[in-house]
Amino acid sequence: MLLEARDITKAFGSFKAVDAASVTLQQGDVLGLIGPNGAGKSTFFNCLTGDLALTAGKVFLEGHDITNRPPEARARLGLARTFQVPQTFEGMTVLENVMIGAFLRTSHRAEAETKARAVLARVGMERLADAPARSLGTPGRKRLEIARALATEPRILLLDEAMAGLTQREVQLAIDLVRDIHRSGITLVIVEHIMEVIMSLASRVMVFHQGREIAHGTPQEVTSNPAVIAAYLGTRAAAKVAAGHTPIELMGGPAT
Amino acid sequence: MSIVLVQVIVGGLLLGAVYALFSSGLTLVWGMMNVVNFAHGDFVMLGMYVAYVVYTLLGGGPLLGAPLATLVLATLGIVVYFGLIRDVMKGPMLAQILGTFGLALLLRYSVFWWFGANFLSLPGDLVGGTFDVFGIRIEASRLLAGIVALLVTFGLHLLLTRTTLGSRMLAVAEDSTAAQLMGIRPDSMQAIAWAIAAGATGLAGALIATFFYVVPTVGETLGIVAFVTVSLGGFGSVPGALIAGLLIGVIESLSGYLIGAVYKDMVVYALFLGFLWFRPQGLMGKT
Amino acid sequence: MRRTFWLAIAIVLVVAYPWVFSTPFQQRLGALVLLYAIAASAWNIIGGYAGQVSVGHVVFFGCGAYAAMGAYTHFALSPLVGLPAGLVASVAIAAVIGVPTLRLSGHYFSMATIAVAELARLIVTNTDYLGAAVGLSGPTVPRNVFDLSFISALPYYYLFFAVLAVTLAITWWMTNSRMGFYLRAIRDSERAARSLGAPASRTKLYAYMLSAGLTSVAGALYAMMFGFVDPDSGLGLLISVKILIMAALGGAGLLFGPLVGAAILVPLEEISNSLLGGKGAGLTFVVYGAIIVLIARFQPGGILALINRLWAKRKTKQESKQGAADAS
């Protein structure tokens, strides 16, 4: 078992954003986290990365307890992430952004640069290497986030809505990139609103609603689960689904 | 407990109420827009000088001086918000700190240049007399300052928690984009917050001017006091500032009485640093 | 290539300055510019590159100055001997301030630095061993060359120049190392930097300690040149302000920013002081305050960043013109 989260609870005051959620991740998995806005999937995600301190529960990486390890220590252990709102280093070039990731495994500048260039080539951004990062648009920034994370040589990559705000075409390119990353042996956790992305990428899906896990299984299993449909679309729509409409279509739109 | 000690503690509480008043301005702005006003203490200083001018040059009493100082500082708060804060808020942290810190210097040394570096004192009979309560002597000026400060701080708390204006400001603090969608203009709310915060310093300045030392550099110490108060009370919390303010007032007068007046600022600074080491989330904050 | 050329020109100009402007006032002015440039460059490491605004840097300056004068007053040693002691003390103080505050938001750090500086000033003012309000003096008549007590400003000028060169070399080396990269990343987004494995608190702390140590060297040199230190000249808040404003005006986070800032502000202050006398001190700081506000509001990157931007704009304009010409 690569990663395990056991009974994670995160409360803000008296409000439990995540309530006793558990998950296990095997080498080679692509785990999708879905749920309506405010369901707790992002909070859960940030508990895994160490950005949020847990109220209760434990996180294990290959059996080692990493619950109290800060994000930088988790990065060293092979956990990398991207941010929903890209956290680009504005004052740097694209190459330098990626070098920050590469510096995790080497302290030599030249080595970091070589590696960063290789990663940029891999994500198809080598021509932009010397451009100021602040000149990038949303698709470029999202891709840069992935490149930076890859440069840390992760074993697990956590993508927080890496496709939000992209056009249909850009989403397709991003899916191809994620597939390629997965093929290279990296285990993935993806938070995504776009159902199509989850359907085509995830091997397993975990559905959140009001801070709790309400379903898990293969994409097909969860999207035909009545509880999931009810959570997404309300009970009336669930009845409609029962009457023969395809659930994925209904859930394909913005799931807000 | 000796009667003198009680007197010292009461004096500390009264002064602490004034600390609470101006600190609640700092905590309001900090909690609402994550901006720390490094000129906050100098705003108080400016309030003291406005009061000084009213009391000595215009011959008015606290009844004129206090409202006028409040008004002048509130206006300054609005000007500072639109002229500086609104823009530096969007910039890097460096700009934010530099901006208000530069403002502090500008105010401090403008007053220094105009009034000189000397300690000024106000006519002693401005708020005359002392009271004798169970053998404790309290100067009328301190009593007035303490009570008014306490009432106004409490009023501020009510304003923020019980009124429509308060909940609108809170909405902007929580999520300014969402507030905007609800038809609240974040700009106006933030400007009002600055007016209130600066107005509170003006009033506090006018209140303590009657018995405190009036000198251009007083704002530096008061600024640190406000910062200590806010970090003790938890940022954004007026009740927290009230309790912390009273506490610091008492600690300061006690240390002044027990180990000497020279050391009371030192005690406050050391206390602050101690808290940063051992309890950075403040007294009221959670871990 | 081109940068090496400009650097060579700049070095020649700095070396030649005291021979071209050779009156005692001008030479002293030049030495002061270099001295403040050392302190501001040291501040730049934590304030500019790491983006953590220290407002109490004078405490390290004072540490160096008091150690240098203390070595003479109490042990009859050369002030130079006190320098390493001040350096060690400064680095230790930086660790004490930095460990708790650099984990918190930058506001706490800034406020804590002010509190520490003021605390130090109050303590020293009330400590007889450190000369209390009067301060400590260095040798009035130099016993040998190691007392570093000269009448002419010229030896100081070259000494300061050498120290500045070392300071800038260290800064340059740092910016090209992993630490420098991490600092810039942390300044832009600490959260992202940490997610990529940058140990943010520790990196900032190292930068702060490095900055503190170099600042104390500036303080020691200052005391040697003036031959004394007292709470105002060694621990006054205004020294912190000067250091900070020079770096910010010239360009925080840029190698030569502090030098540019010092070259503008030191002459400005010296001239306004000699024109206005004692009363000018207040006015000088009114102007300083106004400058800081204006930088923060309109040009947080400082003068050098502005020049760089204009330069880049001109270059792209020329290039596009060139491109148009090629096309036709």
- What tens digit of pLDDT does each residue of C61-79 get? 999 999 999 999 999 888 8
Return the pLDDT at A32.
92
Q: Which of A92, A100, A107, A144 to mutate to test the interface with C (most CBs of C within 10 A)?
A: A100
Which segments in chain C show pLDDT lower than 70? 1, 277-281, 319, 321-328
How far apart CA B121 and CA B124 sit, in angstroms, is: 8
Strand partners, C7: none
Would you call B95 and C237 a contact, using CB atoms and an 8 Å cutoff?
A: no
Return the pLDDT at A248.
52
How far apart CA A46 and CA A160 sit, in angstroms, is: 9
Distance from CA of C186 to the nearest CA of A (A): 8
Residue C135 zone, left/alpha/beta (φ > 0; ψ -120 to 50; rest): left
Inter-residue contact C66 to C134 (CB < 8 Å): no
In a domain, C57, yes or no: yes
Residues, chain C, total?
328
Q: How far is CA C200 from CA A73, B104, C102, C196, in A?
A: 11, 30, 9, 10
Return the pLDDT at A188.
95
Mean pLDDT, rounded, of chain B: 87
Return the pLDDT at C175.
94
Return the pLDDT at A198.
86
In a domain, A106, yes or no: no
Confidence band (pLDDT; 50, 70, 90) for A222? confident
Confidence band (pLDDT; 50, 70, 90) for B282? low
pLDDT over 50 (residue A254)? no
Confidence band (pLDDT; 50, 70, 90) for A245? low
Inter-residue contact C43 to C223 (CB < 8 Å): no
Residues of C with Cβ-Cβ distance to B110 under 8 angstroms: 286, 289
How far apart CA B24 and CA C146 sit, in angstroms, is: 55
How far apart CA C160 and CA C167 sit, in angstroms, is: 10
Region A76-81 average pLDDT: 95
pLDDT over 80 (residue B195)? yes
How far apart CA C33 and CA C38 sit, in angstroms, is: 9
In a domain, C66, yes or no: yes
Return the pLDDT at A241.
59
Q: Which residue of A has its CA nearest to C201?
A: A72
In a domain, C260, yes or no: yes
Confidence band (pLDDT; 50, 70, 90) for B287? very low
**Residue A13 has what DSSP assignment?**
T
Distance from CA of C176 to the nearest CA of A (A): 7
> Number of B:C CB contacts under 8 A?
144
pLDDT over 80 (residue A256)? no
Inter-residue contact C25 to C267 (CB < 8 Å): no
Return the pLDDT at C184.
94
pTM of the model: 0.89
| Residue-wise DSSP of chain B | --HHHHHHHHHHHHHHHHHHHHHHHHHHHHHHHS---TTHHHHHHHHHHHHHIIIIIS---HHHHHHHHHHHHHHHHHHHIIIIIHHHTTS-HHHHHHHHHHHHHHHHHHHHHHH-SSPB---TTTT--EEEETTEEEEHHHHHHHHHHHHHHHHHHHHHHHSHHHHHHHHHHH-HHHHHHTT--HHHHHHHHHHHHHHHHHHHHHHHHTTS-B-TTHHHHHHHHHHHHHHHH-TT-HHHHHHHHHHHHHHHHHHHHHH-GGGHHHHHHHHHHHHHHH-TT-SS---
- What tens digit of pLDDT does each residue of A199-215 get? 889 999 998 888 888 88
The alpha carbon of B128 is separated from its chain's Cα centroid by a whole number of angstroms, namely 24
- What tens digit of pLDDT does each residue of B23-32 get? 999 999 988 8
Would you call B269 and C118 a contact, using CB atoms and an 8 Å cutoff?
A: yes
In a domain, A38, yes or no: yes
Residues of C with Cβ-Cβ distance to B96 under 8 angstroms: 296
Q: Which helix (H) or strand (E) is C46 found in, with range?
A: none
Strand partners, C79: none
Range of the domain at A70: 3-88+155-218
> Number of A:C CB contacts under 8 A?
79
Rounded to 5 degrees, φ, ψ at A20 are 50, 55
Would you call A107 and C196 a contact, using CB atoms and an 8 Å cutoff?
A: no
Is the ipTM higher than 0.90? The answer is no
In a domain, A108, yes or no: no
Number of domains in chain C: 1
Q: Which helix (H) or strand (E) is A60 found in, with range?
A: strand A56-61
Number of domains in chain A: 1
Inter-residue contact C124 to C116 (CB < 8 Å): no
How many other C-beta atoms lie within 10 A of the C-beta of residue B142?
24
Would you call B276 and C101 a contact, using CB atoms and an 8 Å cutoff?
A: yes
- Considering only the beta carbons, identify the residue of B220, B269, B277 that sits closest to C100: B277
**Residue A135 has what DSSP assignment?**
G
Inter-residue contact C177 to C207 (CB < 8 Å): no
Confidence band (pLDDT; 50, 70, 90) for B59? confident
Distance from CA of C51 to the nearest CA of B (A): 6
CB contact, 8 Å: A43 with chain C?
Answer: no
Q: How far is CA A143 from CA A82, A94, A154, A174, in A?
A: 9, 11, 16, 8
Q: CA angle at residue A251 from A246 to A252, to 5 degrees?
A: 100
- What tens digit of pLDDT does each residue of A157-201 get? 999 988 888 888 889 999 999 999 999 999 999 998 888 888 889
- Considering only the beta carbons, identify the residue of C100, C122, C297 that sits closest to B276: C100
How far apart CA A13 and CA A15 sit, in angstroms, is: 5
Residue A225 vs residue B150, higher pLDDT: B150
Strand partners, B131: B138
Domain of A201, CATH number, reads 3.40.50.300
Region B157-179 average pLDDT: 84
Which residues are CB-contacts of C60 (< 8 A; sequence separation ≥ 6)?
A: C42, C90, C93, C94, C211, C212, C213, C215, C216, C219
Query: What ranges do the domains of chain B cover?
Result: 3-278
In a domain, C221, yes or no: yes
CB contact, 8 Å: A119 with chain C?
Answer: no
Percent of chain A with pLDDT over 90: 55
CA neighbor of B51 nearest in space, from B18, B3, B86: B18
Q: Write out the two tokens for C259.
A: 């030098």
Inter-residue contact A7 to A56 (CB < 8 Å): yes
Domain of C82, CATH number, reads 1.10.3470
Region A40-69 average pLDDT: 91
Q: Write out the two tokens for B259.
A: 């180990």
CA neighbor of C55 nearest in space, from C115, C12, C8: C115
In a domain, A59, yes or no: yes
Region B138-146 average pLDDT: 86
- What tens digit of pLDDT does each residue of B72-103 get? 999 999 999 999 999 988 878 788 888 998 99
Residue A251 vs residue C8, higher pLDDT: C8
Distance from CA of B230 to the nearest CA of C (A): 11
pLDDT over 50 (residue A223)? yes
Distance from CA of C200 to the nearest CA of A (A): 8
Q: How many CA atoms lie within 13 A of B181 on its CB side?
A: 3
- Considering only the beta carbons, identify the residue of C191, C196, C253 that sits closest to A152: C196
Region A102-121 average pLDDT: 96
Strand partners, A216: A206
Could you tell me which CATH number the domain at B3-278 has?
A: 1.10.3470
